[in-house]
Structure formats: structure tokens, C-alpha cells
Amino acid sequence: MTGRRNVAGADRPSVLRAKLEAVRLDFTEGLPPRLRALQAEVLEALEAGEPVPARWNAIRNDAHRLAGAGTTFGHPAVSRMAAELERRIEAVETTPPPWSPALTAALREAAMALGRLAPGGEVVSPIPEANS
Amino acid sequence: MNVPPLERILIVEDDPDIRTIAAFALEAVAGLEVRTCASGLEALREAERFAPRMILLDVMMPGMDGPATLAKLRLLPGFERTPVVFMTAKVQPDEVEKYRQLGVVEVIAKPFDAMTLGDAVLFIWSRVAGARLES
């Protein structure tokens, strides 16, 4: 993207607020499926049980993006839970398998908590402990 | 002492929503010419074409992260001293110190306030450019 869209001084705050609100609405509309998808990715990766670095890395990046954007667009709880999920994924990534039940349970719990923030959340069936 | 205007800034951010808001804040509010990139690799290509005077660089990105992008940027002719500002949610004092040791001029904490991002960037530029004029 390239641009120079300078707005007259007095109009700047209102123009930026309007733009921010438009992006916020788009973000909010896309949030429920995004939360459910992230929850499902974590649970499926746990069920697979094998430590696939690229897979966990991709999931952690998704969580990181949510953590960074949530508060900006009016969803601080999403930011907090996504940051928690990110931390727990890091814990799994830096721990050689087999992972302890406590480690996977903490990760699963964070994923479920994030999913619950979506309307109609926690739609993914609980999956039995992997790697335990 | 006249500080040269910032004019052109490159934003490197993998999140499309954050990228949109940051770009709009810096274009429409701060009056800067802005280009955006979604990855470090793209930023290295775009930097040479666009010749930004300052770069806002996300720390955590898939593939090449912020520190890796910064290291490669410094190897490009003309970008040895271009001011780079990291944007990150990880702003514990030890983390910020580590970023400064990499050579960034400032760290903007995420989530940032879109309403004041332009002022923050212009302030950083005036400080950095002013200090370089004096030295």
C-alpha cells in the first residue's frame, strides 16, 4: 500500500475514529469463527500428540496476532486469553515430549477458555489427554 | 536547528487489521507517505524501492521476525543507520533493553493507541533526527 491521504487538521481525529470503528466492526464480526478455529487447532494438535514445530509455531503466531489486536479493537479479554494461550504454547514448544498431563491440560484449558469468548463457544468436543 | 521532515515511513506488520490502522493513522493523521509490508522478506525488498526515512517493525512475525529483519536490513546499502522502531507486546524492561542493544531507536508497546500513534512517531523522529544533526 502506498499513500499520502492527509486530512485537514480539525477533521483528523474524527476521520481516524471512523476508520478505527470500521476496522473494529470487521474484526469483531470475524472474531467468533477465528476463536473457534484457534481452539480447534490447539485441540487437534494436542490430539495428534506429535511435536510438529511448524504446526505449533503457526498456532502460536495466530494466538500472538489475536493478543496484539484484541485490545486495539475493543476486546481486552480476547487479548488476555490469547496471550495466555501463546505463553502455554511456548511452554509446550520448549518442552521435549512426552509432555506431562499438567502441561497439556493447561494448554487445553487456555484454548477452551479462548473458545468460550466466542458466542456459542466451546463447540469443539473435549479431547482425551494426549501424551499422557 | 531544522530537523528534516520524516516524509516516508515503512510499516512492517503481519496482522492485517493492525497494519491498516497504523497506516491510516500515519497517512491521514500524521501526513506521512506510508508503505506497508506483511513480512520481513517483503520489507527488505520494499525498503530499497521506497527508501523510507524510518521503519516501524513488528517484532514477532512468521518466518523472518523483527530482529532478523533488522539484521538483514543493516546489511543493505543506505540502511546502516535508518531509524527502526520495534512494535511489540513484549515490553518487559529486560526485553526492551535487548531490543535497544540490537540498535532500535524506540519500542512502541502493543496494543498502541491509534489516535496518538502519529504523534508518537513524529516525536521519535524529531528526537532521533535532532540528535543526529547535533552529532
pLDDT of residue A125: 39
Residue of A nearest to B13 (CA): A65
- Tens digit of pLDDT at every position of chain A (132 positions): 445 555 566 677 788 889 889 999 999 999 999 999 999 999 999 988 767 788 899 999 999 999 988 988 889 999 999 999 999 999 988 888 888 999 999 999 999 999 999 875 544 433 334 333
Say if B79 is an interface residue toward chain A (CB within 8 Å): no
Chain B closest-CA separation from residue A60 CA (Å): 10
- Cβ B34–A13 below 8 Å, yes or no? no
pTM higher than the cut 0.90 = no
Residues of B in contact with A7 (CB under 8 A): 28-29
Residue of A nearest to B50 (CA): A2
pLDDT of residue A127: 34
Cβ count near A116 (within 10 Å)? 15
On the CB side of A76, CA atoms within 13 Å amount to 1
**Cα angle, residue B109 at apex, residues A90 and B58 outer, rounded to 5°:** 65
Confidence check on the interface: ipTM exceeds 0.95, yes or no: no
Chain A closest-CA separation from residue B18 CA (Å): 6
Are the C-beta atoms of B38 and B69 separated by less than 8 Å? no
Say if B63 is an interface residue toward chain A (CB within 8 Å): no
Task: Nearest by CB to B27, from A5, A26, A61: name it.
Answer: A5
- Cβ B17–A16 below 8 Å, yes or no? no
